[in-house]
Amino acid sequence: MGDHRLQRKIALEGHRFTPNEALAHGLIDHVVAGGVQAILAKAEEVAESICANAQAGAWGVVKVNIPSFPRNWVYDDG
């Protein structure tokens, strides 16, 4: 999560990030302007974009996204 400066801001300084600062540092993925309806609409949009991953399960996503994932990292065949 960021470099040591960002970690220091969070842990030692207790910095309170604005939404745009948090977005710039990668602490959040989206900033939504508007009220509850706009937030819920964005949440549904994000959920729909990633729901296909759930069908394959977490391991299925890893296998699809990292096809060269070494088998011996996960399994010990003795």
Q: What does the pLDDT average to over 4-8?
A: 91
Termini Cα distance of the chain: 36
Q: What does the pLDDT average to over 9-20?
A: 93
Q: What does the pLDDT average to over 7-27?
A: 93
> What is the spatial distance between Cα 55 and Cα 46, in angstroms, rounded to a whole number?
16
pTM of the model: 0.59
Summarised one tens digit per residue, pLDDT across range 31-66 is 999 999 999 999 999 888 887 666 656 666 666 666
> What is the spatial distance between Cα 71 and Cα 77, in angstroms, rounded to a whole number?
10
